[in-house]
Amino acid sequence: MARRNVFYAQSGGVTAVINASACGVIETARRHRDRIGKVYAGRNGILGALHEDMIDTSRETVRAIAALRHTPGGAFGSARYKLKPIEESRAEYERLIEVFDAHNIGYFFYNGGGDSMDTAHKVAQLGRELGYPITCIGVPKTVDNDLPVTDCCPGFGSVAKYVAVSTREAALDVASMARTSTRVFILEVMGRHAGWIAAAAGLAGQGADEPPHLILFPEIPFDRKGFLRRVQQCVERNEYCVIVVSEGARDADGHFLADAGTRDAFGHKQLGGVAQEIATMVRDELGLKYHYAIADYLQRSARHIASAVDVEQAYAVGRAAVELALAGQNAIMPCIVRKSDRPYRWVIGQVPLSRVANREKKMPRRFITRDGYGITAAARRYLEPLIQGEDYPPYRAGLPDYVHLRNHPVTKKLA
């Protein structure tokens, strides 16, 4: 059978471990040279295919590809670009197939979240319709941890670890000076519509009096009065109060507390700034001194404190994508199946793309305490295994030694 090439692309917000998935894809494909030609990566994600702007990963050394495993960010560039429904934008899909055909692409591995799984699914459908044989496999990734079916999403475990560690550390700082200085510290974390990252901060402490004292989840409508009362009580009891707020926190009408007013190409509102909203509220209503921090990109790029479990899973889904494709599977996503909590045991399973495309998994209510401000024992059982182990990158001259690929372009063949 003639060897066909791979097109691999990164999509959406990048993570500390998305390159570990790329490493899994490329290393595994290289081990199957008898059946797979080259791995081409999209420069800036799917745009790379639409613009016939691809990177030839075969020009990279074994060492450089191996170093992707410990390098954060998206090594080939990622994009927030959603292909419209086939009926509205057939030309775009046909262009993809045209580029794939010109470069003998037989495998499409799309590394992203729910929107990207939808695109991979549509490309599989169109390939069938146009009689162009293409194997489409989704490679899961999202710090938001909101893909359904899979136990967790690569990228999440490392963000979870970063916010839990940062919450624990910042809380020690606030506690030290609470009597004479700052009383309230607020950490804003990502998570758009789902509170998984905010919940992970809850791992920093155990009981009600251990920080974080209050967590604001997108799943629980924000109650201003009740919240301020809780802050006041917490300060009276502990001298200080540590609050973790999800960027996706909403009021009872479903409006985000912080909406930056812009939207990305997926149509998602840009969020950010809720920590300041909360801080102002605390100052104006309670007269308390505060500090706040927005974890923002620091949280999803923090490879220096990545979870070893997360790194391993990110690599494993990349490897599985290639192996499943070679086993004849199509239009599926490898997923993580939890076998037990303690010890954490997991295996790789698979799920049809149609079951994960465009779906968001929120925090179940049983993971949030009755009062709506904390995490339950069930949530801890779920979250704890995902932050286990450290996988430090190598350091040189005091800094992590991350790889910069050469990213050689593939010669264009089309107009």
Catalog residues that contact ligand F6P under the rule CB under 6 A: 12-13, 80, 142-144, 190-192, 247, 264, 270-271, 300
Please answer whether residues 256 and 269 qualify as being in contact, where contact means their C-beta atoms are separated by less than 8 angstroms. yes
CB 143 within 8 A of CB 170: no
Listing DSSP states for 373-410 in one string gives SSB-HHHHHHHGGGG-SB-PPPEETTEE-------PBP
Give 411's DSSP letter. P
CA distances, 261 to each of 69, 268, 368 (Å): 36, 10, 29
Please tell me the distance from the alpha carbon of residue 22 to that of residue 302, in angstroms, as a whole number. 18
What is the C-alpha separation between 305 and 411, in angstroms, rounded?
Answer: 38
Which of 293, 340, 12, 332 shows the shortest CA–CA distance to 146?
A: 12
- The H or E element spanning position 24 is helix 18-31
| Complex with ligand F6P: residue 5 or 145, whichever CB lies closer | 145
Q: Which of 115, 144, 151, 310 is catalytic?
A: 144
Which residue number, 178 or 216, has a Cβ lying nearer to ligand F6P?
Answer: 216
Q: How far is the CB of 115 from ligand F6P (least distance, A)?
A: 10
Strand partners of residue 307: 390
CB of 264 to ligand F6P, least distance (A): 5
Q: Which ranges of 285-342 does DSSP label H, i.e. alpha helix? A: 296-301, 308-326
- CA dihedral 355→357→363→365, nearest 10 degrees, is -50
Query: Between 144 and 219, whose beta carbon lies closer to ligand F6P?
Result: 144
Q: Which is nearer to ligand F6P, 237 or 255 (CB)?
A: 255
d(CA 155, CA 387): 11
Q: Which is nearer to ligand F6P, 43 or 300 (CB)?
A: 300
| Structure token digits, residue 197 | 């990252």
Min CB(192)–ligand F6P separation in Å: 4
**How would you write 63-110 as a 3-class SS string?**
HHHHHHHHCCCCCCCEECCCCCCCCCCHHHHHHHHHHHHHCCEEEEEE
Active-site residue flag, 34:
no
Q: Does residue 301 sit in helix, strand or coil? A: helix
The residue written with tokens 């540590």 in the block is 242
Q: Please, what is the end-to-end C-alpha distance for the chain in angstroms?
A: 29
Least Å distance between CB 146 and ligand F6P?
9
Which residue is nearest to ligand F6P, using beta carbons?
13
Rounded distance between C-alpha atoms, residue 383 and residue 374, angstroms: 13
Residue 251 C-beta: closest distance to ligand F6P, Å: 18
Q: Which is nearer to ligand F6P, 234 or 275 (CB)?
A: 275
In the complex, least distance from residue 379 CB atom to ligand F6P, rounded to whole angstroms: 19
Choose between 97 and 357: whose C-beta lies nearer to ligand F6P.
357
Could you tell me the smallest distance in angstroms from the CB atom of residue 225 to ligand F6P? Answer: 28
Q: What residues act catalytically?
A: 144
